[in-house]
Amino acid sequence: MASTANVTCPFCSLLCDDLAALEQKQQISVSANACRLARQGFSAPRPSSEASLKGVPATTGQAVRATAKLLQKSRKPLVAGLGTDVDGIRAALQLAEMTDAALLHSQESQSLHNLNALQARGGIAATLAEVKNRADVIIFIGNNVCGDYPRFIERFINAPYALFAGQNRKLAYLGRPGRTELAGCEDHELVVISGRNDEIADNLALLRTRLADRQLLDFSTVPAAKARKLEQVAGMIRDAQYGVLVWSPAAVPQDQADLVISSAQDLLRDLNARQRFAGLSLGGSNGGASWQSVATWQTGFPAAVDFNRGCPSGDGIHTADVDSLLWISGFTEAAPPALDVPTVILSPYRAGANDADVYIPTGVPGIDHTGNLLRTDGVISLPLKKLRDSGAQSAAGIIREIISVIEGRRWRHGIRLDSRMRGNDGE
């Protein structure tokens, strides 16, 4: 039995790096500081060693060559999911540029809400370290904001050691907190203003108006209990030395997500005219934070990058035009979307494998191979350790093999194939 300390958990974008893991007969268990996501993620069985072509067993080499041929013949390939580490994302971008493919992360629709608000209004952001060490007032916006980040309150609100902020933080919730969140906040002053989903944006607007020292809009329509709570939260905010608004795009009503997040940024802009207040968005799991950063520094676009014109574009992707799909899912057992096109799956899990044209097993980053991921606040990358010798290759390694096959075919024919020439390479 092998024990490893200071393990980074890749199964949410907090990237908690204080876990202890045990390996016995290729099975991993977490012996310290595990949340439900860590227990589930690290218990993943050893990846299969067998690739397949339309459900028929094949060697990895055969599957790689079949994938290369499929992508070369495609006119509008899509590389999606992108649940992998930094190295895998870089390799996927290189493959997409070579094959004029588009790239779409599995959580793209959620991250776009933040990007839309950022492009329209700008933003004032806090890091996790600032929340832990400085924030004395924290306002959660949404329903069960920390539900997909189980250790957020433990590590950043109830942290036993903080440089400046003590244990007397003041908390407020504009939305419905989960039971675990309520239990974690019981040692702090907490004000909850819950209600219907469509009231979250309204409550932000009312709070912003009150903080601007203007009478509440249409005060007569606001229930007395809510008015008192809004006044209490406004007082918290006015007295804050270092305040933070915390939200998650997945925790707000999706039909109002742009409005809610834009309203939060508007409130931050107002508050910073007289005091220090910042925002923290929880998101970017499944490699999403790494995807946004890597895509931005390599293409200039943070989401939905398309190389189909021969250069990167961020004008959006229409899946109806896609004629092949490369699905990468290294952290979750998520099947590819049903697009009715030839599909290749790179994953440690077999979800959708029997129906795929090509399935190639890969390792789980942070279990079967080393790597790096960016944290939800986007300011730091953390190393992932290898915990077992499963023999599984990384997604980056498989993608580079695919690239080598494509490059070899082009070199043999003495040409660089463009989109008009694909499918005529003699294969």
Q: What is the 3-state secondary structure (H, E, C) of 282-314?
A: CCCCCCHHHHHHHHHHHHCCCCCEECCCCCCEC
pLDDT attached to residue 419:
41
pLDDT attached to residue 163:
83
The tokens for 82 are 């992108």
pTM: 0.91
What value does the CA radius of gyration of the chain take, rounded to a whole number of Å? 24
Cα 312-318-321 angle, rounded to 5 deg: 100
Closest CA relative to residue 115, chosen from 334, 242, 261: 261
Closest CA relative to residue 77, chosen from 304, 325, 312: 325
**Domain spans in the chain, listed from the N-terminal domain onward:** 48-107+286-413, 110-281
pLDDT attached to residue 165:
65
pLDDT attached to residue 161:
83
pLDDT attached to residue 425:
43
pLDDT attached to residue 265:
95
pLDDT attached to residue 63:
98
pLDDT attached to residue 132:
95
pLDDT attached to residue 310:
86
Question: pLDDT 10s digit of each residue in the chain, 427 long?
Answer: 789 999 999 999 999 999 999 999 999 999 999 999 999 999 999 998 899 999 999 999 999 999 999 999 999 999 999 999 999 999 999 999 999 999 999 999 888 999 999 888 889 999 999 999 999 999 999 999 999 999 999 999 998 888 876 668 999 999 999 998 899 888 899 999 988 888 999 999 999 988 987 655 555 678 888 989 999 999 999 999 999 999 999 999 999 999 999 999 999 999 999 999 999 999 999 999 999 999 999 999 999 999 988 899 988 888 889 999 999 999 999 999 989 999 999 999 999 999 999 999 999 999 999 999 999 999 999 999 999 999 999 999 999 999 999 998 666 555 554 443 344 443 4
| Secondary structure, 3-state, the chain | CEEEEEECCCCCCCCCCCEEEEEECCEEEEEECCCHHHHHHHCCCCCCCCEEECCEEECHHHHHHHHHHHHHHCCCEEEEEEECCHHHHHHHHHHHHHHCCEEEECCHHHHHHHHHHHHHHCCCECCHHHHHHCCCEEEEECCCCCCCCCCHHHHHHCCCCCCCCCCCCEEEEECCCCHHHHHHCCCCEEEEECCCCCHHHHHHHHHHHHHCCCCCCCHHHCCHHHHHHHHHHHHHHHHCCCEEEEECHHHCCHHHHHHHHHHHHHHHHHHCCCCCEEEEECCCCCCHHHHHHHHHHHHCCCCCEECCCCCCECCCCCHHHCCEEEEEECCCCCCCCCCCCCEEEEECCCCCHHHCCEEEECCCECCCECEEEECCCCCCEEEECCCCCCCCCCHHHHHHHHHHHHHHHHHHHCCCCCCCCCCCCCC
pLDDT attached to residue 210:
87
Asked whether the domain spanning 110-281 has the same topology as the one spanning 48-107+286-413, the reply is no
**What's the one-letter identity of residue 109?**
S
Task: Please name the fold of domain 48-107+286-413.
Answer: Rossmann fold (3.40.50)
CATH class of 110-281: alpha beta
C-alpha span between 352 and 354 (Å, rounded): 6
